[in-house]
Structure 1
């Protein structure tokens, strides 16, 4: 039986020294008028509110936030002295933590610097470390994948860790430095590869000092074969070989825009910087109408270590913002004379106004080498496809165009959702998705947008207007207008779904890939599938039962490719935002809780004291695993309500600003839950013994008192649509709401806040 040594320090005892020092400081400051038990509690409080050596703050870990400070009345002098003493103690604890981190950093061994190896271009010469022979070579690099380098060896491609590879620098003396009397050593012939040579194999003749190795993806191969087939069928009649004309158009366009300039190679300037490679990406566009070939020059920016120091993430439209736009679309078309339209910018990245802040040197693509002298390089001036930061440059240009030139305003939570503020006559609301925009606008604003786009000099394709029976694609979905409603479905991703073969050797890889594809479809327009795919995402080592459960949901998605959302027109004077929330306590395999909510923008078509009926559009939903510790059913229900209300209040704030422009009334927020204990905590001032829940309850009560929450209703659990986002065998409320856009809900209790009777 192991026995602890007398000098060992346990995990709990490690905190004794900081706690003792904190206690001594507090006792010295306020010990003359405070008892020792209170001082000890204050010391523990200071320790819990300070980050430890591992960066963890216990208070934030348990409660998720710091307690809110009441500003209604000033603190007493005694409380001020206590707060100052706690601050002194916390500064001391921060000093202890800094000392621990410094000692840890000093004692940490630094690994080898492998950035130079990972940034080497393909076909660079390197030396490799062999255990018996040391550094051998030189050999050529064939590829780099993460920290693995593929090297062309005598017996074929071999993979090495980046720590076992180093660059090889070859000295090439000039002709004047070579002594003709010195006998040059005879190069030793490399041993022949093992095995019998293939039939018809002969030594390769090097026709050029540079060898092109282009790895085409399966998609590019399919597009090339399709181009050949369309040319044989006379569908594409462009002169020359496949993609020859489109390659020339792309290169000439970039030259005219000043995206890059030509420079000559200079060893003094260019030997110590990375020279990127370039390639042409080719595909067939507009398959549904008139196909044509399209080429795009791309910088091969793999292994770009400089991007770690740059801001590279450009914002894109959020899913709930896109659905909010579609939920308002039928109303804007019917009552405000708007129409839906898609705008597609051509060569978006290259039209960015700002120039790159770093120097990018690239080799010529093979399509240009014959037109320029040997040693010509490209110095990229403006953003180009393949560079990590190009998307951000374009976002800045296009966003400023909407805000400055068109006078639009960003939403409170999504910078890619913009709307006008001048009035209903020149109204427009736009969702930005990189180079595509989806807008609902009146005719005057649409004409203004066209004029400002031409004035700014941005090149774009003609607008695609949303018309009856004709679908348009945007951000992974297909939008269609039927009568007065808009349907939103997937645009073909369901064809990639396949059932997982449990007996296959790569069953786990199939499970991960098909799970991700199904979850992508669920996030677009299939809320019924969210819970099953969220549960599947929590499985790390799938077993036969897990694969079977996932296949059931994938089979449903494959059999229902047209399953999606329908958006109907609403009367904005009667519309409310309903937030249905639910939490399932310890429902997951690891005994964690599942949280879910559904946000619906709907009219209340009928209401009695026992039930009410709504008709409207689903705007947002979520089914996620709770990351906080839940010790009761009330905790899971409360956390589900807080997550749903956070999303709902963000939507309602932006929505009310849009309605102000349309001269429509504000939309009230109604929160619905099937938990009686949570309902009583909010509207009847019920209490709980769990201190960790008090902060969230007080925040919801404050929002209820400020009328950010107009009503709180306790509904029947059998009619709660959020039930389908937390349970494997739910009720049919969500399915009915998606199918018919209507739902009748039974009410257990509610509060009428405008002087009416409560039930």
Structure 2
């Protein structure tokens, strides 16, 4: 076991449950461990008849066995990945650890060795999980323990007060650990799954073995020997003859080959299962495409992955089952490239804005089992055979990849722009004129799909409605699913984390006004979690459920388009004294109408040494993203100027004048903004009053009427006190 990240040699007597523990060095030799065990146990109590040890290098060495054999003690090594064979010692690890940490927390001045000794003594003089007092069985009496630390105040040594106080705390902590252990043991008892009655484990039989490091059964391997609860199997060796390896009998099971994979798969979709028809259709499609094929023999050493169905009911009432495999257990999965095209939320809003400005048509297409219609060349032998994929076909069909998001494609650029598509795995969002729809239809002609749908429809969790003058988006259906039975209570950190994830999904979608609240709650860890955090989370959830909004994308004047960007920062406002930075980007015209494009409220990843440094960092981050959006809009035929807004008078004056800042990083960021103005990438920089800066609500907890007006009416007033720009 480990205490304070240091290894500990822990010994427990099988009969009396008497404990002993000592700190050892990392990588200690077998001789030194034996010397420590000899001084602390054998020289006091005598040599035990048998010593059961973990299968570690120092314990399993011949030196350790020979040294103990000289004391007439036999060494027994447990099987591989069968730690419960050391059940007595394992059960005493956690109580000893908790007792030690409590003593260490209260009386750190005693030192780690003394704290460990006090913890071991508390375990030995207290009734254990088995109802035994180890000291009573070993010495015939229980050592006396002062009832109160005050009784030792007259002693000549002042340290006795701390020592006895620590002993009492340790004993109380151990008694609580024993009580909790007994309750858990009574509530649940682990019954090994294998071997089952139909599993006959015999010499020569093919077996699958379970390894904890890989979390699955591997094999098959040939059974070599059975010795009680241990089973030895032959492990192939590439450099020589096969070697024997011992496993617990509960970690092996009989291997059986499947003569007909299709029949076994389809068998899972029974008529009694309400999802049976959907499961059968999914499996039949997989088999017809050649994805699943019979495997009469599993290669030696192959990883056997588990699988299951994920059942969902579509908004139109259709029942759909998806057959998934536990790819995270694939040992080669980390070295395998995975292509999962998912359109980002900000690029989705760019598409909404372009569609609304041009008055383009919007549609949605869902491809059937898109990944199985792929043509990626595989680097290793697998059982899935793939064909041509959707993204490759889009590129071949004349679509150009967007720079801001590789899952967005345009059909034509600048003057020839006529539309595009956004890809989310097997779902396609199509927008544009008739030419773009015809090009996408040619791509879809060679693939199986479920047709094309016109608004209203749900894409990537967002419901879309299109009228003649505007495009509306909302996530009301998701909110209803989350809170259909009311706002759930938050009792544990798991409940807190689950609801926090749901609110984060809404904040990055159609509810940007709650981004700061969710960002602050995202900084809460299991160690720092308290009831106040749950109260704030429930307040945000109640607000979202009560105040329903639709993001509006009205028609804008293409001739007066401009990107309105606002940034703000809150210096050293987080619990760890880091700064919170936030910005928001809108696309608007000469009127107050705006399209919400993107916003962020995040902890600053760079150190800010002052309020001005934090504000300047937020403004540069906002400008960086705004310029990327402006380049995408330019590819779609819009030359859009950028207007940066800040409520920091220091930054505005520094940009407008030739001020020189002392800190180098601040000066570099300031020069970046000045260069943007000089090269006309930034049209103008405006100073906005703090109450009129909509980004202020992304760094501070406050009610913001500006966000409410944007969400309800799609309007944002153009207010500023000063501005700086270049003119010809």
Structure 1 length as normaliser, TM-score? Answer: 0.60
Deviations 1:55-88 (A, max 9, x none): xxxxxxxxxxxxxxxxxxxxxxxxxxxxxxxxxx
Aligned runs of 1:156-555 on 2, under 5 Å?
171=222, 242-265=274-297, 270-279=299-308, 281=309, 283=311, 285-288=313-316, 291-312=317-338, 314-333=340-359, 338-360=360-382, 379-382=383-386, 397-405=389-397, 407-421=398-412, 427-454=418-445, 457-466=446-455, 471-494=456-479, 495-497=481-483, 499=487, 501=489, 504=491, 506=492, 508-540=493-525, 541-555=528-542
Q: Check whether the contact 2:216–2:305 (CA below 8 A) recurs between aligned residues.
A: no
State the match for 2:662 in structure 1. 689
State the match for 1:635 in structure 2. 613
SS at match of 1:728: coil
C-alpha separation in 2, matches of 1:546 and 1:242: 41
State the match for 2:646 in structure 1. 673
Q: Check whether the contact 1:672–1:712 (CA below 8 A) recurs between aligned residues.
A: yes
State the match for 1:737 in structure 2. 710
C-alpha separation in 1, matches of 2:588 and 2:408: 21
Deviation at 1:311, TM superposition (A): 1.7
Q: Check whether the contact 2:219–2:303 (CA below 8 A) recurs between aligned residues.
A: no
Q: Check whether the contact 1:500–1:511 (CA below 8 A) recurs between aligned residues.
A: no
State the match for 2:635 in structure 1. 657
Q: Check whether the contact 1:127–1:167 (CA below 8 A) recurs between aligned residues.
A: no
Are residue 569 (structure 1) and residue 545 (structure 2) matched?
no
Q: Check whether the contact 1:425–1:442 (CA below 8 A) recurs between aligned residues.
A: no
Deviation at 1:551, TM superposition (A): 1.8
Distance 1:426 1:743, change over 3 A: closer
C-alpha separation in 2, matches of 1:464 and 1:438: 10
Distance 1:730 1:717, change over 3 A: farther
C-alpha separation in 1, matches of 2:615 and 2:421: 35
Q: Check whether the contact 1:715–1:745 (CA below 8 A) recurs between aligned residues.
A: no
C-alpha separation in 1, matches of 2:661 and 2:718: 28
Deviation at 1:428, TM superposition (A): 1.3
State the match for 1:366 in structure 2. none
Q: Check whether the contact 1:426–1:444 (CA below 8 A) recurs between aligned residues.
A: no
Aligned runs of 1:15-30 on 2, under 5 Å?
none
C-alpha separation in 2, matches of 1:304 and 1:163: 8
Deviation at 1:702, TM superposition (A): 1.4
Deviation at 1:320, TM superposition (A): 0.7
Deviation at 1:130, TM superposition (A): 1.7
Unaligned runs of 5+ in 1: 1-105, 114-124, 136-148, 174-183, 189-205, 212-223, 229-238, 361-378, 384-393, 606-613
Distance 1:557 1:185, change over 3 A: closer
Q: Check whether the contact 2:214–2:331 (CA below 8 A) recurs between aligned residues.
A: no
C-alpha separation in 2, matches of 1:528 and 1:359: 49
C-alpha separation in 2, matches of 1:485 and 1:185: 75
SS at match of 2:323: strand
C-alpha separation in 2, matches of 1:165 and 1:320: 40
Q: Check whether the contact 2:311–2:321 (CA below 8 A) recurs between aligned residues.
A: yes
Q: Check whether the contact 1:126–1:168 (CA below 8 A) recurs between aligned residues.
A: no
Distance 1:187 1:543, change over 3 A: closer
Distance 1:241 1:604, change over 3 A: closer
Structure with higher RCO (Cα < 8 A, 6+ apart): 1
Deviation at 1:356, TM superposition (A): 3.3
State the match for 1:596 in structure 2. 582
Distance 1:422 1:590, change over 3 A: closer
Structure 2 length as normaliser, TM-score? Answer: 0.63
Unaligned runs of 5+ in 2: 1-26, 29-54, 58-79, 91-189, 197-209, 230-252, 259-267
Deviation at 1:646, TM superposition (A): 1.2
